[in-house]
Amino acid sequence: MVDVARAAGVSTATVSRVLNGNARVAAELQNRVRDIAQELGYTPHAAARALASQRSKTIGAVIPSLENQNFAIGVFALQKRIGEAGYTLLLGCSYYDQEDELKQVRALIADGIAGLMLVGRSHSPALYELIEKEQIPLVNGWTVDHDYPYVGFDNVAVGRRLADYLLDLGHTRFGMITQMTQHSDRAADRIIGVRAALQSRGLQLRHEHLIEMPHKIIEGKMAMKALMNGPERPTAVICGTDLLAIGALAEARESGIDVPGDLSIAGINDIEFSSFTSPPLTTMRLAADEIGARSAEYLLARIEGRPVSSQNIVPTDLIVRGTTARPRNA
């Protein structure tokens, strides 16, 4: 900064004001300082800036997987909003491993993050202890949490809404293909919602009709094959993600099962591809971009000392398309 100030014939304070976007500096002077900074290859030192201001300009996020489009959309919205406020996003990926997640969070804290977004509410006790010790604003996304701030969906209600819709169509034999519940409180909550809807009408989800898989298309295909090879086939299958549902739909097509005539299939997320399957996929729309944007708003408010709600439920919508219909015997 001293080199830039000397070359531009101004004080280091003026250089600082220009590079921090202070509009009170004359436009011509701003342009000269920025041009010289670029010529000299000047890059602000984040750690030094944090020490000088007692405030970091980075926010961290750790997501379970980079393959999940829903997480990617949410993180993009988070980055866009905090970027508008002058913050930079530092991103980590835990691969659904709590120990790896803790390792990522420790690294982010070492880099001086001002706030943190995580996915779900199931994290190691050591992680929560670390967050509380460092007094870093935290928000859990994609879930409802009774102990910590959250911006998320009521996943119990999501599962119940899908099941109620299929029950209203006349289905009584249900199957579920869901993510691994040991890694996802979101998946576990959706199962609770489906079971509650069935129990309210005197039905139950049979043990052999609940299959837990990772979230890839091929795994949805394998799970559907297992469901259809059982002694009593379900007439409706709820999938924990659209990718699992797309795999299930592919298996049904290969096996000669008429969808939705013989079997109704529904997913969750409403990814872009879901409206282009054949037939188009019925699904629950989860606004991941709103998760990211509202998580950013929460963290920015906490960092800046503004009042903000710590409990934020994002609405969901049932999107009815061509993969669901009344069962033939209804």
Q: Is the pLDDT of residue 22 over 80?
A: no
pLDDT score of 40 more than 80? yes
| Token code pair at residue 63 | 């997501």
Distance CA 125, CA 98 (A): 10
Q: In which residue are the tokens 């005539």 written?
A: 261
How do residues 298-325 score in pLDDT, each as one tens digit?
999 999 999 999 999 999 999 999 999 9
d(CA 50, CA 150): 27
Please state the rounded mean pLDDT for residues 19-29: 80
Check pLDDT > 80 for residue 45: no
Q: pLDDT, tens digit, for every residue of 101-110?
A: 999 999 999 8
Same fold, 2-44 and 56-153+288-316: no
What is the three-state SS of 25-59? Answer: CCHHHHHHHHHHHHHHCCCCCHHHHHHHHCCCCEE
Are the CB atoms for 149 and 140 separated by under 8 Å? yes
Length of the chain (residues): 330
**Homologous superfamily of 56-153+288-316 in CATH?**
Response regulator (3.40.50.2300)
Q: Which overall architecture, per CATH, does domain 155-285 show?
A: 3-Layer(aba) Sandwich (3.40)
pLDDT value at position 66? Answer: 84
- Separation CA 46–CA 14 (nearest Å): 18
Say what the pLDDT of residue 54 is: 47
Proportion of the chain above pLDDT 70, given as a percent: 95
Q: Which fold has domain 2-44?
A: 434 Repressor (Amino-terminal Domain) (1.10.260)
Task: Round to whole Å and give the CA distance between 44 and 1.
Answer: 8
In this predicted structure, what is the pLDDT of residue 75?
Answer: 97
Domain ranges of the chain: 2-44, 56-153+288-316, 155-285
CA distance 164 to 170: 10
Query: Which helix (H) or strand (E) is 249 found in, with range?
Result: helix 242-254
User: Confidence class of residue 50 from pLDDT cuts 50, 70 and 90?
Assistant: low
User: Is the Cβ–Cβ distance between 260 and 288 less than 8 Å?
Assistant: no
User: Residue 88: helix, strand or coil by DSSP?
Assistant: strand
* Selection from 69, 64, 67, 68 nearest residue 91 by Cα: 64
